[in-house]
C-alpha cells in the first residue's frame, strides 16, 4: 500500500535516510565537527574530504552530518510544540464556540498579522540565542494554522449524532473532545505538521544564517552557510552542499505531506 503511493514512499525514504544519518553521526565520519585543521583550509572535495573543508579546515561532510541532528531536532520539537498548542486552542474554540471561540480565533488572527520573521528576530534579540530558545520561539509562533484546522474539523462534527450520543451517556467534555472528536482530525493535523517541520527547518536555517539561531561552533545547516558569503567564488562547495541538504530534506517532508493527502483521499 505504501509502495503504491510513490510520493509517500520516496518521502519516507529520504527522511528515514537523513534520520539514520543524524542518529549514526559519530559512526559515519572519522572527523570531529569542530576540529580545526590548519594544514587543510578550504580543501576542495577530495578522497579524504568528500565534500571539502571550510576556512578553518573542518570537514564539511562531517559538519553537515552533525548539522542534520540539530536541524531535524529543531524541526521536530518546534512543530511538536506548535501542534500541541494548535490542537488545544482549536479544540476548545471549536467545541465551546461562543466567546471562547471568538477570543481564541481573534488571538490567532492577531498572531497571523505579525511577519513571522520579525516576531522571531525580535524575541531572539531579547533572549540569548540557544537551540532551546529557537525551538520554543518557532513553536510559539506557528500554531495558528493547526488551530484553525482543528477548530474547523471539530465544528463540522460537533452536532453529529455520535457526539450527541456521547453527551447522552454522560461523557465528560474532555473525554468527548479527546476520544471522539480529535481522532477525526488526526489526518489533516498530520499533514499540516509534516509541512510544518519543513517550514520550521527553513526558518531555523534562515535564522542561523543571519547569526541569530544556532551559534557556532555547533554546526547547523543554516550557520554553515554563513561562511559561504565570504567564500563566494572561492569555495563553491561550502555554498552548494549545506543548501542541498536543506533542499532534499524539505522535499522529503513535502513529499510525505502530499502522499498523506493522497492516502487519506483529499487533495
Partner 1 sequence: MITYIIRRLLWTIPMLLGITLISFFIIHLAPGKPSAIEQSLNPRVSLEVRERLEKLYGLDKPLITQYFEWIRRIFVLDFGRSFTDNRPVLEKIIDRLGVTLTINVSSLILILVGGAVIGIKSALKPGRLFDSAATFMVFFAFAVPTFWLALLLMQLVSIQLGWLPISGIVSLDYEYFSPWWKFLDICRHLVLPVFVSSIGGLAGVSRYMRSSLLDVLKQPYMLAAKAKGLSQRQLIYGHALRNALLPIVTIVGLSLPAMLGGSVIFESIFALPGVGRLFYEAVMSRDYPLIMAEVVLGAVLTMIGNLLADISYAAVDPRIKYKKA
Binding residues for partner 1, rule: CB under 8 A, are 106-107, 109-119, 121-127, 198, 202, 205-206, 209-212, 225, 228-229, 232-233, 236, 239-240, 242-243, 246-247, 250-251, 254
Task: Please say which residue, 176 or 211, places its beta carbon nearer to partner 1.
Answer: 211
Instruction: Name the β-bridge partners of 59.
Output: 53
Minimum Å gap between C-beta 174 and partner 1 is 28
Q: Tell me the C-alpha to C-alpha distance, in Å, between residue 205 and each of 67, 76, 87.
A: 10, 14, 26
Query: What are phi and psi for residue 97, nearest 5 degrees?
Result: 40, -155
The smaller minimum CB distance to partner 1, of residues 76 and 176, is found at 76
Q: How far lies 267's CA from each of 6, 85, 156, in Å?
A: 15, 25, 18
What are the cell numbers at 224?
554553515
Q: Which is nearer to partner 1, 47 or 113 (CB)?
A: 113
Measured at the CA of 244, the angle between CA 241 and CA 249, to 5 degrees, comes to 130
Residue 53 is given by DSSP the state B
In terms of CB distance, is 84 or 232 closer to partner 1?
232
Residue 131 to residue 139: CA distance in whole angstroms: 12
Shorter beta-carbon distance to partner 1: residue 94 or 252: 252
Instruction: For the CB of residue 36, give the shortest distance to partner 1 in the complex, in Å.
Output: 24
Start-to-end CA distance of the chain, whole Å, equals 18
The three-state (H, E, C) secondary structure of 94-155, written as one string: HHHCHHHHHHHHHHHHHHHHCCHHHHHHHHHHHCCCCHHHHHHHHHHCCCHHHHHHHHHHHH
Least distance (Å) between residue 244 CB and partner 1: 9
Round to whole Å and give the CA distance between 17 and 28. 13
Smallest distance from partner 1 to CB 28, Å: 23
Minimum CB distance to partner 1, residue 104 (Å): 12
Nearer to partner 1 (CB atom), residue 31 or residue 223: 223
Closest approach of partner 1 to the CB of residue 38, in Å: 26
Nearer to partner 1, 35 or 122 (CB): 122
Question: C-beta of 229: minimal distance to partner 1 in Å?
Answer: 7
Q: How large is the C-alpha radius of gyration of the chain?
A: 22
Task: State in angstroms the smallest separation of the CB of 264 from partner 1.
Answer: 18
Of 27 and 118, the one with the shorter C-beta distance to partner 1 is 118
Tell me the C-alpha distance between 264 and 221, whole Å. 33
Amino acid at each position: 500500500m505504501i509502495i503504491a503511493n510513490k510520493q509517500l514512499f520516496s518521502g519516507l525514504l529520504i527522511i528515514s535516510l537523513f534520520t539514520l544519518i543524524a542518529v549514526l553521526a559519530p559512526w559515519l565520519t572519522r572527523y570531529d565537527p569542530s576540529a580545526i585543521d590548519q594544514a587543510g583550509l578550504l580543501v576542495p572535495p577530495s578522497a579524504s574530504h568528500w565534500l571539502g573543508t571550510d576556512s578553518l579546515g573542518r570537514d564539511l561532510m562531517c559538519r553537515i552530518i552533525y548539522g542534520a541532528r540539530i536541524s531535524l531536532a529543531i524541526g521536530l520539537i518546534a512543530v511538536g510544540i506548535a501542534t500541541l498548542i494548535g490542537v488545544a486552542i482549536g479544540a476548545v474554540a471549536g467545541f465551546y464556540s461562543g466567546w471562547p471561540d471568538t477570543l481564541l480565533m481573534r488571538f490567532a488572527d492577531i498572531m497571523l498579522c505579525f511577519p513571522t520573521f520579525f516576531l522571531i528576530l525580535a524575541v531572539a534579540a531579547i533572549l540569548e540565542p540557544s537551540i532551546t530558545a529557537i525551538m520554543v520561539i518557532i513553536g510559539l509562533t506557528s500554531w495558528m494554522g493547526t488551530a484553525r484546522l482543528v477548530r474547523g474539523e471539530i465544528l463540522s462534527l460537533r452536532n453529529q449524532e455520535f457526539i450527541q450520543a456521547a453527551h447522552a451517556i454522560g461523557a465528560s467534555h474532555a473525554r468527548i473532545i479527546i476520544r471522539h472528536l480529535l481522532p477525526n482530525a488526526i489526518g489533516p493535523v498530520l499533514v499540516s505538521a509534516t509541512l510544518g517541520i519543513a517550514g520550521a527547518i527553513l526558518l531555523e536555517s534562515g535564522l542561523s544564517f543571519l547569526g541569530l539561531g544556532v551559534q557556532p561552533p555547533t554546526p547547523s545547516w543554516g550557520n554553515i552557510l554563513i561562511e559561504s558569503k565570504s567564500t563566494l567564488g572561492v569555495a563553491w562547495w561550502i555554498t552548494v552542499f549545506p543548501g542541498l541538504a536543506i533542499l532534499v530534506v524539505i522535499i522529503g517532508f513535502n513529499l510525505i505531506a502530499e502522499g498523506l493527502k493522497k492516502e487519506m483521499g483529499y487533495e
